[in-house]
Amino acid sequence: MKIQRLLIGYLWIEFVVFQTGFTQSFYKDSIMIRSIYDVALTQGTCYHHLYRLCKEAPARLSGSANAQKAVEITYEMLKAFKPDTVWLQPVMVPHWIRGDKAICYNVKNKKEKYNLIALGGSVGTPAGGINAEVIEVNGLEELEKLGEEKLRGKIVFYNRPMDRRIIDTFHSYGGCADQRVWGADEASKYGAVAVLVRSLTLAADDHPHTGVMLYNGENKIPGAAISTKDANHLSAQLKKGSVVLHLEMNCKNLPDVKSYNVIAELKGSEFPNEILLVGGHLDSWDNSEGAHDDGAGCVQSIEVISLFRQLNYQPKRTIRCVLFMNEENGSKGAREYADEALRKKENHLVAIESDRGGFTPRGFTVEGDDGKKEACMDALREWKHLFAPYLVHIFEYGGSGVDVSKLKGQGVALLGFIPDSQRYFDFHHASTDNFENVNKRELELGSATIASLIYLFDQYGMHHKEKELQLPD
C-alpha cells in the first residue's frame, strides 16, 4: 500500500493505492469527471437555457401554444451543439384548458374566499357553479365509512397533510397524492358533487398547488386544490359548524393535439446500438414557468450533450437526450417513445430521468427489469467513490421517473436522478415554480453529476469492472 497524489484539475487528491486497488482507469475517470464538473461550473449553458425556456415558454402545458414554443426552442438549443441527429417524434397529447373562472367562497359569508385552482383534467362546474355543503375527510379510505348517505350532494374536502417527519419529501408526497389523483373519481361513486384537495406541499403558503386528476367512472365531478393555509382555515371553520361553499370553474378538455418529443443523439463510435438515454419532460403546468418541474431536467439533459461537445468527447455508445412531452397529464410522449423503441427493437442500456428539481445532487435510484437493475447497482457501487468528491452519495433501489419507467420490460436499467428534496414541494405545481427559485450552482452540479454517470456507462456499459491495470510506481 502506498499514497499517491494526483492533480485533478486544480486540486491535489490523495489516493491510497493498494495492491489490488485503484487502477489506471480510476485515474482516467477521475480526471474526466473532474473536467465535466469544471466545464459545467465555469462554462455551463444550462442556467441560461433554463432562463430562455422559462421566460419564452412558461406554462407549457400539453397542447398549448407555449408547449409548441418549448418544442421549437429546445430543438434549436440542441441543434446548436451539432449532435449527429436531432429530431421531433410526433405524439398526440391531451389538451385541457383551465378557463378563466376559479371561484370559491362561503355562501353564508361571501367575504370568506378561497384561492382555488382546478386540478388538471377536471371537468368544469355546471354554469353558474355549485353550492354545496363541505365534508372534510382525511383520505380516500374514509369515504366508505361515511357512505352515500353522508356524501351525496356534498363537496368532499380531502385534508390529509403530507407527513413532515419523512426525510425524503417524495415519500411524503406519495402518501397523499392519491387524494388528488383519485379523490374526485372515488367521491363521485358516493354521489359527491365536487372535491377540494389540500395542496400537496409541506409549506404553509397561500397559493394552491395543482396537479393531475384522473377519472375512471362515467360520473365526472370537478376537482380543485386550495392552499395549505386555506385548508387549515376551512378545517377550522368546519369545526365551528357547517360550511356551504360556492364553487365555479370553467375548465374543460378539448380534442387531442399533435405535439412532439424532442430528441438528440450523439452516435457511439464502438457500440452505436447501445443507447444511453438521459431525459426530462418538456411540458409543465400552466400556472408557472415550470422551472424545477421540469425545466431543470430538460436543460440538464441538454447539458449532457453540451458538456460532451465542449470536452470534445467522442462516446463509444449512443447518447440520446429525450425531452418528453406530456408527463404531467397523460405520459403520451413517454408511451410513444417506448412503443417506438420496442417496434424498432432498440437496445437501451440505461435510461436516466431528471424530474425532481434543480437542487444539489445527492445520487441516483435504480429500478428496472430483473438482472438489469442488479447489474446497474453493481456498477454504481463500483463507481461510488468517483462521486464522493462531489458529495454525491445516494445509490439505492427506488423509483426512477414517470417517463423512463415506460421502458420497463425492454431490459433497461432505469435510473432517477436524486437532488436534495427538501425544497421541491414548496414550488411543485405552484405559481412559484419560476426561474428565480432555481440556484445556478445547484442546477449545474446536477448536470455534471448526470453527465459523469453517463460517461461511466459509456466507457464501461454494464461491464463496470475497472481494468486491473496497475500503475507503474
Binding site for a second copy (CB under 8 A): 9-11, 37-38, 41-42, 163-167, 169, 202-203, 360, 362, 389-391, 393-394, 420, 422-423, 426, 439-442, 445
**Residue with Cβ nearer a second copy (116 or 202):** 202
Give 346 or 442: the residue with its C-beta nearer to a second copy: 442
The least distance separating a second copy from the CB of residue 54, rounded to whole angstroms, comes to: 17
CB contact at 8 A, 415 and 365? yes
- CA 346/CA 240 separation, integer angstroms: 61
Q: How far is CA 351 from CA 122, 324, 335, 382, in A?
A: 32, 13, 14, 19
Smallest distance from the beta carbon of 41 to a second copy, in angstroms?
Answer: 5
Q: Which residues are catalytic, by number?
A: 327
In this structure, the chain runs to a length of: 473
Say how far apart CA 424 and CA 228 lie, in whole Å: 16
Q: What are phi and psi of 351, to 5 degrees?
A: -135, 120
**Long-range CB contacts (within 8 A, 24+) of 69-72:** 70/282, 70/283, 71/259, 71/260, 71/262, 71/282, 71/325
Min separation Cβ 165 and a second copy, Å: 5
The DSSP-derived string for 349-379 is: EEEEE--S-SS-EEEEEEEESTTHHHHHHHH
Under the phi-then-psi rule, with left for phi > 0, alpha for psi from -120 to 50, and beta for the rest, what region is 334?
alpha
Shortest distance in whole angstroms from residue 348 CB to a second copy: 30
* 227 closest CA partner among 196, 263, 265: 196
Q: Name which of 435 and 460 has its Cβ closer to a second copy.
A: 435
Query: Minimum distance between the CB of residue 445 and a second copy, rounded to whole angstroms?
Result: 7
Return the number of the residue (232 or 422) whose C-beta is nearest a second copy: 422
Residue 127 or 167 with smaller CB distance to a second copy = 167
Confirm if 288 and 434 have CB atoms less than 8 A apart: yes
